[in-house]
A and B are shown apart, each in its own frame.
Chain A
């Protein structure tokens, strides 16, 4: 998979020397990673390795202590989720960021509602758009008018993914997108990731499952105790190599 990626040009995203500390603990300590168009980069590590914090700095959910973010080679100021959205960075959170009491359409457009010329929210239009986009991703979905609290994990996930797709994400952060899903739903997410890759979208994928990473990712950046162990092309290392990086913080010698 990785051989197709052209890494000679400007990266889609580059995070340089990112740091974040909580009290005296360095949650993220001088980490640099990059992501190219059409590439899936796995961000791996134990719980508490700092993967989620690193991603949250990119999505604007957490302010960074220091470090620089470049989008398409230009320095980006990302201080809150709205800034990130303006750079077409969309995030699918581990604990799905949906308002349980609202329906699928209201969630999909949350913060970016379609409005009528008079400035009122256009629920009918939003529902129609939601039917279109969700019809592509999950053709069987019918429950457009019930609060998303009543939906299954997979249906909720598809609302979150539809949101990213609808708003033309260029950079997609997925925080364990399949953690809450069954086998069939996981397969659908995998297919979706492939489709998004083909469109030139760059994906940062946080995951625990080594098989999944081997199957889905082009490269993997491994973190331990807030530091970057290394970034490797997944096809050139074994699962044991990856586990060694995660558990021991040991970079394999053959890594690119």
Chain B
């Protein structure tokens, strides 16, 4: 059966005389007859389900009108006004709109506060007698999660979850319809859908994607086309007949609840009713649901696990066990190392990240909540919450704006009793570990029995076939000769009897043995063949990376070996690089290393040159200085770029330090003393720092006064150090006049130093009018000007 919702409420209220800026929900109390009449007009047009006038009747929205204490009253009045319009078959959906705030960490509203706000409103709607809860127009999946949890806690009635997507088929906070559907179905939404933001044409592909993802009924309430602003009024262009035309397509795509949102009227609803109400479901195309799978999601990405999908790597590195630095990072609350591990593992190929906060003595729930929040902002791969602490598990699940995997649920009673309900409540999948109160089963057959017991208990709680990932359990090969064989046999039994996706912590197999990487990679290849879908491993291990790439090819997950070839075929670029540059001697080698910016390579080369009897002056002049000159010229010609100049400067510095270390008596002669400063009022110093670095590494003595430096201070230091040159930098038009003031002050104080000025807004013309001696467009120019000046001075 196709159910017909109603259309827009706001427009109807305006037409009925609601003053601009007035609280629409207040009319539930003040003008209930008007509200009832609007409902009646929709029912008369064919609506089976009408929506209460409570879209903004939550505490946060009502606060804007000073009505926050009327949440229960206005929601109750809304239901009464709706009920007064109903016929015997009409159903009432309690409309619950967004709070208008984003949830932490995207915004400043806490998840618990959002939950409480929704709970208050939905409780009132439930008690007033709505037939279902309709959570709609939500753009943040975390807000929808809070609302859905509140609805499930406050009411036993069906819950409809409708998100709003943009033209790119994502919510503005990044969630796509497939990901949203997976999260919401797992959390127990009864009907999943979409409303607002777009017209029916734009919502059609979104409905198609939802239909391919879930067996849940689908609802859709489109706007009457894409709005325009005409005479400062928002106008929705789609006529009722066209809306009916699109309603047929939406139903054919899988929608079973169809209504309208902004800009739709009773005429639109009547057209929808006439178009779809009497369609026979048996005449509609059957939507092909994607194959059964276990899906995990972040806020914006879905990863599928199972035999029909490529191997998924679970990165194991966010685990403080045996890692003092990571443990200290977590204990200190910094989480810098945690974040680095997350990014690095993804770069190395991890598609899921295991997150373990098991540092003794800390508040693990707090640490897990923070880690999950921070990682959900930083990475888009789904997370695996790895803990034995039930409080930490709930904190992590609540904070996660996606569908996480719980690592792990064993057959131990306390784990089953505490973890399974949380998995159900928050819509998480579970990693099932075959450990029973009797311990670790030795044989594959015994492990299968334990796993079946866990799955049985999970089904009793309400989990579904798509909620499992099975661990085959690896023991240490050094301690148990059959460890590998039993794990492989377990994988095969799982696939044969259950078919759910599988995982294993691979590195356990090699504990206590040398060259663990060889054993791990070999075992990984064997396990993949035996049915392993999602190994938990160290993604940085190069041997493992090679094994996984080759296995993907051999198991048919890398058609034509395209990915393997991209990674392992020699490229033309690397072939070019393989052509050796053949400097004639060590001096040329140093020269080349400086030009190439090879800081690490230059040190041993200088050491070698000194050992071979080359003097420091020879190295400095023939290798280092000529190299920097060459880099400077290349920069001037546009053949070399600033970061490359800086790399060369760093290499030059490393070379000088090596000479000084090897020949402590060696004294390099300073080319001159330069005072550098960013002028008063200006806080930018990047450019000035670059100039300082280049001058210093070209042999000048640089006294860098920093940023926001007064003319008086610059004069004082220039005189004190008998500066040859004063370099002044300003980045903004507002601070540029300080260049003039400073130069005037230098001259007034009788300072004879040459002035060089530069900075983003400065020009040669400005330098001239400020009486600067020179203008440098960049750091390399500054070096050239300084060198020329000192050369002239010496003559």
Genuine A/B complex: no
